[in-house]
Chains A and B, each alone.
Chain A
Amino acid sequence: MSSITLTNIRKRFGALEVIKGVDISIADGEFAVFVGPSGCGKSTLLRMIAGLESISDGEFRLDGELMNDVSPDKRGLAMVFQSYALYPHMTVAENIGFSLDLKGVDKAEIKRRVGAVADKLQLGKLLDRKPQALSGGQRQRVAIGRAIIKEPKVILFDEPLSNLDAALRVQMRAELQELHRTTKSTIIYVTHDQVEAMTLADRIVVLSEGQVKQADHPIALYKQPDNLFVGQFIGSPKMNVFQARVEAVDDTSARIVTADGWTVALDSVKGLSAGETVQLGIRPEDLSLAEPSNADITVQAILSERLGMETYVSFQTKGEPAIARIAGDHRIGTGEQVPLKINRNACHLFDSTGRAIRRS
């Protein structure tokens, strides 16, 4: 069992507070991903869990045990660094076995365990090579090998795929999922890439400016973001946001009018009053091409990007340009009028401060 609880964790560098009271709990065997834009504090938080940064305030418990002042090697954690941090003067085998060697485990035992880990990661033939003679993906696997040989309670990953090319990233993502499935260890993974977060995580923790914006299952974050920040951070291309006003309400529905004069009637909305200012969030995939006769809105295209299986159409609004993600290949010229249909059930509403207005 290895569950993690962070309670009101804070980190200050001098007068600057970078982690501002974070509460997170991660269950045993869970794959948790910390995600957020650069500078949101996700790496700092990971390093505090690792013990490489001190905890200014709050409690970090591992299996109920207070870890704030325990040294990094005594916490029972392993970490995979962004640059892999392989020891350049040691062979692959020495890199993987270094922690055991430091503990004074005997040579034959180290060799056996290194061999087992290497087989698991397909590094068997590379054991005598130095890191500089390895490819990016192989280095990554050595770094993982160095972590799992310690049989840690928790493995920490700090943006491990950011140095790999796109194709290798997809492959390593699959290997990481496989690793999680076979080792069943608790994993905390830091990334700024929301696709990585969505595909790997059991639970995503979205961070911004040192605070947790929302922590939940990826699909829950996608479907029910707590706030505008999460709504726009999860999903690609990002959610369109339109400034709007509530025109009329009855018991269970509301009629919203955007700054562009588009009227959208939404069901299952409660607690709004007429005249209130709201923000309407519509994901690009919830806008689809319609016949002119049954279109909800007609927009003027600025640019269309054809990806083959789908087409991204950017269009002008009174606010920022918005984007529609239309299934299939369409040739749409700049300036062309495009009739669109809105998937009303998937629209999101936020109040003027950006907090979600839940639809039941």
Chain B
Amino acid sequence: MFSTALTWSDLAFLAHGAGMTLAVTAVSVAAGTVLGIVFGVIRFQFGPYWSAPLTFALDIFRSVPLLIQLVLGNALQSIAKLGWPPFTTSCVVLSLYTAAYCTEIVRGGIDSVPVNTRRAARSLGMTWWQDMRYIVAPLATRVSLPSWIGLTLGVMKDSALVLWLGLIELLRASQILVTRLQEPLFILLLCGAIYFVISLPIARFGRYLEERWSPND
């Protein structure tokens, strides 16, 4: 019952796929967070009326399936003759997708900073930038961190969809092995276990930071 045709090189193949998943996730989350912070500040600063076009544009990324977004992104880059490899296309689409969710998190974080605290900073002679940097950023980060960790884990799982563009990440790698070895259950369980093992440390790290940053609660 426990005999399997899985060899060490197959395991290495799976590990390579997991590496691809991690690479796509890392690039997308990093770029998406930077964009999300910029968009979030813009949305907060301009108010609901003037930032409506931005809100609408970002809402599209949250209301259209990621699979469709990836296909559209790939079609667009070939129409524009950019000649991007699948990795670049996937990262660009996933970054925008991440940014759309991150914007909401950032806006919520800034919203949670009491207006009086900010007024106090400004009346002490701080500039807008200093207020943002030394008052809002630390307070908002604490509030937003749990959702941001959740977003990171979500993007890690959603990155499985890039297999549609031909990128061999964890799920695609295990699918290839399933086709070759005909042991779907065992290999898929292995794949699921790897996803679990990847997301556990991220979740733990988030909980650690959360505890460490709130010693007075």
Do A and B share a complex? no
